[in-house]
Chains A and B, each alone.
Chain A
Amino acid sequence: MDLTFSEEQDELRKVVRSFLAKHSDEATVRRLAVDPQGHDPVVWRRMAGELGLQGLAVPEEYGGSGFGYVDLGIVCEEAGRALLGGPYFATVALAAEALLRCADEQARHDFLPGIASGETVATLAFTEDSGRWDEQGIGLTAAQDAGGGWRLTGVKTYVPDGHLADLLLVAARTPSGISLLAVGTADTPGLTRTPLPTLDQTRKQARIEFTDTPARLLGSEGAAWPALERTLATAAVLLAAEQVGGAAAALDAAVAYAKIREQYGRPIGSFQGIKHKCADMLMEIESARSAAYGGLWALDAGDETETAIAAALAQAFCSEAFTKVAADNIQVHGGIGFTWEHPAHLYFKRAKSSEVLLGTPSYHRELLAARLGI
């Protein structure tokens, strides 16, 4: 039983945290928030080149470092803490995971080295206007043309970082079921990408229209759903880790402020009304940590049944925990926390956008109930 972190993992956390303190400080987060691209290619390349973060959990045979999910979870947690903008989650937690799980060895060799090296920004184009994350939500169709190639027609929307991805992995409906197809975005005809202005400006989304767009089928036609389901479970756990990091940063901010802000002649953190609220925030965070870490351990143990349960649980719990803690942080700050100038709202908005990013807590509760046979 190894449900604790190793010294190497503590070191990884330290390295990532100090890198992000430099490259994803508040000024950078705010700069990227108002940048329509929301992406800093220089930092992106350094993340890959200096730290190997994009390829951390990609096996060595595909150009990665072959670390485990606990390690990747540490990076996601730190990214959440620093409100890292840009396409890390889309590329690593969604696209790379979809490639690792699809039944297409050639595609892994073709695409993963580029992701690991930081050359390729990728994403998973799954949701449509319904916003659903289940099989029924996929309406976009792919059909075979006369030459045997595949063509996509329809719309994907709310696609994380879809506006800047070099590679789109598209979930589509084909004659015998759900398939996964790859679309390179450079000079591809029939592809219209429109950035969507987002409530949480630190996480960008795009609407993508496909009009007879040429695409490459990955794996067998109609057989992609199980791989997609496992991809989404993995992403759900990694998002939970990110949420834990965001919540921890919000609590740190609340505690720091409660120590220095004085009212009635003493620090507000000495009042039980504030002190007990902060204690409850820590309890939420530590419980969320257990939910997220439980998922990471299940992933590393390769236990698919347990992962499916832990993933739904992690999203149901960590989503709400982050939102609650981020809102409490604003409350502890009072008026100043309600301003645009103070970063508290950045965490609150990130919390809410994360809550719906891979399906709402209610949806994940239903997934969990179904997986438990309740």
Chain B
Amino acid sequence: MELDFGPAVRDFRDEVRDWLTDHLVGEFAEHRGVGGPTDGAAWEVRLAWDRELSAGGWLGVGWPKEYGGRGLGLLEEIVFEYEYARVNAPYRATVNALDLLGPMLLKMGGEAQKKRFLPPILAVEELWGQGFSEPGAGSDLASVRTRAERDGDEWVVSGQKVWTSFGIHADWLYVLTRTDPQSARHKGLSLLLVPTDQPGVEIRPIRNLAGQDEFAEIFLSDARTSADMVVGEVGQGWRTAMATLGIERGTTLLPQQLTFEREAEALIDLARERGALDDPMLRRRIVDAWISVRIMRTTNLRTIAELTAGRTPGAQATTAKLYASTRHQQLGQLATELAGPAGQIVGEDYALDRRQRSFLLALAETIYGGSSEIQRTIIGEQVLGLPKEPRP
């Protein structure tokens, strides 16, 4: 896929291209395409790569200069992400802070919080983990039970969080807590920033089905954080948490898109190699896999075009995740079928090749960031205006 985002950003594009050509070398180049939203492979190399990006000033392209960013616009961010994905650079280890916490602080945080936390994110000095889900609060996030109480100048936090991606690496957590013990559901919640380096925080890795210690469960037992570590207002944590969820900024679409396109090409090569293109049943599924990847591309481009034109994205922005996640799973399953018995053999210590990893990790895509069922409910109620389900 070759995209031209117009003359206004051509110089910028060349600058990105040149930098990547000069710096994506050696060990970094050997790790092209490594890592993903749920893939913690080669963590240390990727962290080093993030520091390389940071030194070049390429983290926070759209963040204000005063916090260490480049202060550029959405179009430049998209161009950067596109060029980045085009050369298949490693998936950034700091993505949680860059894509989720950072934008949330920029939008809802106090000035002191922004000054304190944003520069170390861009300098790759502090890593972040998300403390939203709990054992009893998954899709129904509003039922969080982790409590936070004031004790003098501090909050004291107790409870259990789970499914924190790359949680074992986190220096800080952003935690959704219940600060009003009398409250129910969306009310009485607050979003707290909690340091992990203290006795009251225990982080244990959870092994995912691909055999990686990619996410974690977190036990908070009288963990402490200072009183000014509330993002947004006390009691308004739901608003804070939701402020940046569901806002598609277009920047995350292209990297994933290019990965899927590479996988579709690899699928066709594999089919050709194994003589599967002569089988009409397989042939149909292969063509359908290619069609779905191409449709994802056009859907993404529609959204990006609307965003960069300053328009509100259409309904396709709300259905894109549902479509992409389900079709990506089908693609992985077809590729694994085509790989035959050889595709069933793994390396030592359950070492997986790229196809095997993608095949398994794709299963998370219909779960994280709002499961497909939650997506359908949101689309039904918020886009189509269908009535809510009565709550007992």
| A residues with CB within 8 A of B | 1-4, 251, 255, 258-259, 266-267, 269-272, 274-276, 278-280, 282-283, 286-287, 289-291, 293-294, 313, 316-317, 362, 365, 368-369, 372, 374
Which A residues touch B316, using CB under 8 A?
Answer: 286-287, 289-290
Given contacts A4-B306, A267-B386, A290-B302, 15 further A-B contacts (CB under 8 A): A258-B386, A259-B385, A272-B377, A275-B386, A275-B389, A278-B380, A278-B386, A279-B379, A283-B379, A289-B302, A289-B316, A313-B295, A316-B291, A368-B291, A374-B290
Number of B residues, CB within 8 Å of A: 48
Which A residues touch B137, using CB under 8 A?
Answer: none
B215 to chain A, nearest CB (A): 27
Which B residues touch A275, using CB under 8 A?
Answer: 376-377, 380-381, 386, 389
- Whether A317 lies near B295 (C-beta < 8 A) is yes
Which B residues touch A294, using CB under 8 A?
Answer: 294-295, 298
What's the dominant secondary structure at chain A's contact region?
A: helix
A295 to chain B, nearest CB (A): 9
Name A255's contact: one of B271, B299, B301, B385 (CB within 8 Å).
B385
Which B residues touch A4, using CB under 8 A?
Answer: 302, 305-306, 309, 311
Segment at the A interface, from B2-10, B24-32, B56-64, B171-179: B2-10
| B347 contacts chain A at the CB level, 8 A cutoff | no
B203 to chain A, nearest CB (A): 35
Task: Tell me the complex Cα distance, A2–B299, Å.
Answer: 13
| B residues with CB within 8 A of A | 3-6, 268, 271, 277, 283-284, 286-288, 290-292, 294-295, 298-299, 301-302, 304-306, 309, 311, 314-316, 319-320, 322-323, 373, 375-377, 379-381, 383-390
Task: Tell me the complex Cα distance, A316–B292, Å.
Answer: 11
20 A–B pairs (Cβ distance < 8 Å), ordered by A:
A251-B384, A255-B386, A266-B387, A272-B389, A275-B380, A276-B377, A276-B380, A278-B380, A278-B384, A278-B386, A283-B322, A286-B299, A287-B316, A290-B299, A291-B291, A291-B298, A293-B298, A294-B298, A313-B294, A316-B291
The residue of chain B having its C-beta at the shortest distance from the C-beta of A294 within the complex is B298
Which A residues touch B314, using CB under 8 A?
Answer: 286
A230 to chain B, nearest CB (A): 20
Which A residues touch B294, using CB under 8 A?
Answer: 291, 294, 313
Name B287's contact: one of A259, A274, A374 (CB within 8 Å).
A374
- Whether B380 lies near A365 (C-beta < 8 A) is no
Task: Tell me the complex Cα distance, A124–B113, Å.
Answer: 68
Name B322's contact: one of A278, A279, A289, A290 (CB within 8 Å).
A279
B5 to chain A, nearest CB (A): 6
Name B379's contact: one of A271, A282, A313, A368 (CB within 8 Å).
A282
Given A258-B386, A279-B384, A365-B284, the answer on whether A2 and B305 have CB atoms closer than 8 Å is yes
Given A3-B305, A4-B306, A294-B298, the answer on whether A267 and B387 have CB atoms closer than 8 Å is yes
Name A279's contact: one of B4, B380, B389 (CB within 8 Å).
B380
A35 to chain B, nearest CB (A): 35
- Whether A1 lies near B323 (C-beta < 8 A) is no
Name B386's contact: one of A259, A287, A290, A374 (CB within 8 Å).
A259
Task: Tell me the complex Cα distance, A240–B7, Å.
Answer: 32
Residue with the highest number of chain A CB atoms closer than 10 Å, among B301, B315, B386:
B386
Name B383's contact: one of A280, A282, A291, A365 (CB within 8 Å).
A282
Task: Tell me the complex Cα distance, A286–B5, Å.
Answer: 23
Which B residues touch A369, using CB under 8 A?
Answer: 283, 287
Which A residues touch B311, using CB under 8 A?
Answer: 4
Task: Tell me the complex Cα distance, A283–B304, Å.
Answer: 18
Task: Tell me the complex Cα distance, A274–B271, Å.
Answer: 38
- Whether B315 lies near A282 (C-beta < 8 A) is yes
Which B residues touch A258, using CB under 8 A?
Answer: 386
